[in-house]
Amino acid sequence: MRSSLVCFEPFQRKQPLEKPLCVIIHVWNNMREQYSCLIDFNDVLQVDLWRPNSASLIRENSPVDIHVGWNKTQWLRRHLHQAHIHYKVLISNLQTEIEKQIGYRRSSRTRRSEFQYDYEVYHPLEEIRSWMFEMNRTHPHLVDLFSIGQSYEGRPLYVLQLGKRTRPFKKAVWIDCGVHAREWIGPAFCQWFVKEALNSYQQDSGMRRLMNQLNFYIMPVFNVDGYHYSWKTDRFWRKTRSKIPKYHCRGVDANRNWKVKWCDEGASLHPCDDTYCGPFPESEPEVKAVAKFLRKHRKRVKAYISIHAYAQMLLYPYSYKYATIPNFNCVESAAQNAVSALYSAYGVRYRYGPASTTLYVSSGSSIDWAYKNGIPYAFAFELRDTGYYGFLLPETLINPTCTETMRAVKTIASGLLKKCTK
């Protein structure tokens, strides 16, 4: 169950705090006894788990990242020590790191000027929406902006279509970002992808070939309500913002709400959990709208890519079971090539493989749904890092993270232009 601790007070303070509100602790559990202790600690403290995102997913020999209030830190550290569980504090003052990202002590002019959009800072929803309209206005021959529906709170669900209008029925690639609100590097990448695709179209023959022969559907912010809330109220909010009857808790995990083995292992039936699957499949208007669009275009969409954070992984189906997909050789080869292309930028290593064995089992995920609905290449990226910054990836790392991921996505897209014979 999600902790009620809040470390984000953007409108209530004028001066920095002397004492941190919250810290992030990275824990190694190597034995069954330590695993049991961690489960017990979670039950007692009701901490906010960053990795994994549910206590039910804690496993032996797997790291655990814990977001805990300052008033609970000493208790947790003392009991970790008594249980002989190794740990280290990754972020000792979470509030300071948050303030770096929301522009505290920084003029809004550095975030966006009248004539130049800054792709190396995080942007709130309003700025991203304005940017989408600007891309549509300034690149009429390569961009088409449209809405596929409305969120729970009534916000438009905008998608950018990129591609040269050469013929009506081109193959297509879908890319969504910001499914989980707190993963801000996701929307940053979607914006980066659009920028790179448009700016390099004339000079880069590879990008020009992709844009001429494929359409790209880009959804920079899937979970618009949750993303807005993460800027205004709770930086670490994950879910949508729908109201659940008879519960004070709000929201559904938008990556557990798809109609494929819905609400089985790796998902929760409790509305207060971060992995809550919702009252029924596609209960969330955001999920329903994307599913409807992809069903309509399933004959043309050949790749589905969802951008998440954090873990440095490239995942493909299945998520909900330990089994090999029918076109495993082709998908595995595409993943290997993508990870190699990513590595070529800065030497950052990504693990790749089926989500169930590479990360953990989870039901009702978008990549499983996409694959089951006829999209042969379905991938989920877990971008930087592996836990040092977690969801608070510094803005200084937006450029390298997006640059390397761009190489991987281009490699996947390029593979669609060839016939896989494996």
Tell me which residue range forms the domain holding 57.
Answer: 22-102
Q: Is 15 within a domain?
A: no
Choosing from 102, 127, 147, the residue where a domain stops is 102
Residues 38 and 169 both lie in one domain = no
Is the pLDDT higher at 228 or at 111? Answer: 228
**So what's the pLDDT on residue 27?**
77
Rounded CA-CA distance 177/180 in Å is 8
pLDDT at residue 19, rounded to an integer: 42
How many domains does the chain divide into? 2
Contact by Cβ (8 Å): 392, 101: yes
Do 65 and 189 lie in a common domain? no
Q: What CA–CA distance (Å, rounded) separates 262 from 259?
A: 6
Using a 10 angstrom Cβ sphere, with 0-12 exposed, 13-18 middle and 19 or more buried, the burial of residue 280 is exposed
**Residues 247, 146 share a domain:** yes
- The residue among 76 and 186 whose pLDDT is bigger is 186
pLDDT recorded at residue 7:
46
Could you tell me if 49 and 94 lie in one domain?
yes
User: 185 and 219: one domain?
Assistant: yes
pLDDT at 42: 62
pLDDT given at position 1: 46
Mean pLDDT in the chain? Answer: 88
CATH number where 363 lies: 3.40.630.10
Confidence class for position 13, pLDDT limits 50, 70, 90:
very low
Q: Does residue 286 carry a catalytic annotation?
A: no
Is it the case that residue 48 has pLDDT exceeding 70? Answer: yes
Pair 197, 142 in one domain? yes
Show which of 50, 70, 102 is a domain's final residue.
102
What is the torsional sign of CA 278, 279, 281, 282?
negative
Name which residue leads in pLDDT, 351 or 41.
351
Q: What is the pLDDT of residues 136-169, one digit of tens each?
A: 999 999 999 999 999 999 999 999 999 998 887 8
Of 77, 102, 127, which marks where a domain is finished? Answer: 102
Overall average pLDDT of the 58-75 stretch: 78
Query: 91-134, pLDDT tens digit by residue?
Result: 877 888 888 887 654 455 445 544 589 999 999 999 999 999 99
Which is the catalytic residue, given 97, 99, 382, 404?
382
Rounded Cα distance between 288 and 71, Å, is 41
CA distance 251 to 225: 10
273 with 407, same domain? yes
**10 domain residue, yes or no:** no
Q: Which of 90, 71, 78 has the alpha carbon at shortest distance from 25?
A: 90
CA 293, distance to chain mean position in Å, is 20
Are 124 and 68 in the same domain? no
pLDDT value for 374: 97
Question: pLDDT value at position 190?
Answer: 98
The answer to whether residue 5 sits within a structural domain is: no
Residue 18 is predicted with a pLDDT of 41
Query: Which has the higher per-residue pLDDT, 379 or 37?
Result: 379
CA angle 364, 369, 373 (to 5 degrees): 155
- Report if residue 108 sits inside a domain: no
242 & 319 share domain? yes
Looking at residue 250, the DSSP 8-state letter turns out to be B
- The pLDDT, as a whole number, for residue 2 is 45
pLDDT tier at 286, thresholds 50, 70, 90: very high
Q: In Å, how far from its chain's centre is CA 367?
A: 13
Q: What is the CATH number of the domain that holds 88?
A: 3.30.70.340
162 within domain boundaries? yes
Q: What pLDDT score was predicted for residue 38?
A: 65
